[in-house]
Amino acid sequence: MVVQEVAGVLLAMLLGFLAAEMLLEHGVLYKLSFLRRVAKLANLPDVCGVTFATAFVSPAASNAMLQSLRDRGVLNDREVLLASLLNAAAVPFYETFTVYLPVVIPLLGPRLGLMYMSAMWLNGALSFAVVVAAGRLALNRRETGLVEEAARKLGRNYKAALRRGLRRFVKTAVVFAATVSTVELLLRYGVLQHLATPLSSYAMGISPQLLPAIGIYVLHPTAGMAAVGQLVKTGVVGEVEALAALLLASVFMLPLLYLRVYIPQWVAIFGPRVGLARGAIGLSIALAARIIVLASVLALVH
């Protein structure tokens, strides 16, 4: 992971912790109380509707807010896990404007880019369905009373809120930096690259011209998509074959992406138990979405 990416994640974490403390101190949660309806679908407490809304702007900041609520005893571990998974339903909206429209679609072309984007939207839909089902089975509906308490609260101490946010950020940032450094060392010495080597064994008749580009995609998705998009634009391969190749490669790419980016972030924010569970469940849902779309594409072709 490059320094700019680490800095971006840390900045989002810092803003999330500070925003959570300031919002709780100021009482803004009361003004956003109408969002409790979203959380109620999964039997999540009322404040999870507010963190869900934050995920449309910054998923990392939303997760930081969840941890602040957990530290205050407002949410328990199970509620934090499901609320963080609920944030994945907001990611398609966030990444459509920050990743797919400015980067993916120009690289792959409009039609192929939109078809590839369908896997992301399916991921969001599956995440929402899993959270609602799990919440109804495992949680008892309850109200924290926090939004009403925030409306009545007087004598707010913003300096203390900022200090609490900064302390939590420093602790989280140290864990995040250590985890990312460990993963990057494993990548540098070729340990994790072995996850990509079985790709050729599962090529399933994919054009040989695509294999180098797909190999690049597994380790560097943006560079790989640029190579695949160029092959499609020059007529070397068709769009359907390129889409099938990208979806197949994403099954190998996603574990690397989660190890490099998401799992270190979640472990740093939530701690090992909740963070690793968040990573395992999120990765399983993401892989299921890709496999479903890939199977649909192959069924249409054959």
Q: What is the pLDDT of residue 124?
A: 93
Which candidate, 210, 212, 204, places its Cα nearest to that of 231? Answer: 210
Helices (H), 47-188: 48-55, 59-71, 77-87, 91-95, 105-108, 110-138, 146-152, 158-188
* The token pair that represents 250 in the structure block: 């994403």
| pTM reported for the whole predicted model | 0.76
Of 246, 294, 248, 257, the residue nearest 279 (C-alpha): 257
Helices and strands (H, E) in the chain, number of each type: 16, 0
- Structure tokens that stand for 141 in this block: 């509906």
Task: Please identify which residue in the block is written with the tokens 């399933």.
Answer: 204
Q: How far is CA 287 from CA 116, 246, 275, in A?
A: 14, 13, 18
Please give the pLDDT value at position 196. Answer: 47
Q: Which residue has the tokens 């079985």?
A: 198
Q: Distance between the two ends of the chain, CA-based, in angstroms?
A: 39
Residue with tokens 């900064």: 166
Residue 168 to residues 20, 81, 93, 152, 154, Cα–Cα distance (Å): 11, 18, 28, 26, 24
pLDDT value of position 73: 87
- Confidence (pLDDT) at 182: 66
Provide the residue ranges of all domains of the chain, joining segments of one domain with +: 3-301
Of the candidates 95, 96, 111, 112, the one whose C-alpha atom is nearest the C-alpha of residue 244 is 112
Per-residue pLDDT tens digits of the chain, which is 302 residues long: 446 666 766 776 677 667 666 766 665 555 555 566 788 899 998 888 878 887 877 787 788 889 888 988 889 999 999 999 998 888 888 788 878 888 888 888 889 999 999 999 999 999 999 999 999 999 988 776 654 554 445 446 677 777 777 877 777 677 667 766 665 666 566 554 454 445 544 555 567 778 777 877 877 788 888 888 888 888 888 888 899 889 988 888 899 889 888 998 899 889 999 999 999 999 999 999 999 998 888 887 66
Answer yes or no: are the C-beta atoms of 62 and 15 closer than 8 Å.
Answer: no
Q: What is the 8-class DSSP label of residue 142?
A: -
Nearest one of 24, 14, 78 to 51, comparing CA atoms = 24
Rounded to an integer, what is the distance from CA 107 to the centroid of its chain?
A: 22
Q: Cβ-count burial of 110 within 10 angstroms (0-12 exposed, 13-18 middle, 19+ buried)? A: exposed
DSSP letter for 237, please: S
pLDDT given for residue 201 in this prediction:
46
